[in-house]
Amino acid sequence: MGLDATTRRRWFGALCLASALVMLVCGQTFLEDRLSKNMFLLYWLLCFVFLGLAMIVAVRDLRCVSLQARQEQRKLLADTLKEIETEARARSRGENPNDE
């Protein structure tokens, strides 16, 4: 059972965010005094990378959801217009479209 693109994207974003959160908690508690200056810089840089990835994934997901909603609205509008046209044709021929 494969995951679709939306599910994969959301899982990846959640993992990046969870990684950044765990690194934040660890960095502020027991790793605070144990890291050298270079390791401190690298550690927090990696934390910010995870946070940045999570934000990029969130923006990309927002764009994909917006695009999908727009496509569904267009399809709904087209289907509604087609239904109205069908009912108008049936009325012009003297049929009752609700008698199906």
Decide: pTM greater than 0.85.
no
- Per residue, the 3-state secondary structure of the chain, as one string, reads CCCCHHHHHHHHHHHHHHHHHHHHHHHHCCCCCCCCHHHHHHHHHHHHHHHHHHHHHHHHHHHHHHHHHHHHHHHHHHHHHHHHHHHHHHHHCCCCCCCC
pLDDT in tens, 31-79: 888 988 899 999 999 999 999 999 999 999 999 999 999 999 999 999 9
Q: Give the whole-number percent of the chain exceeding pLDDT 70.
A: 93
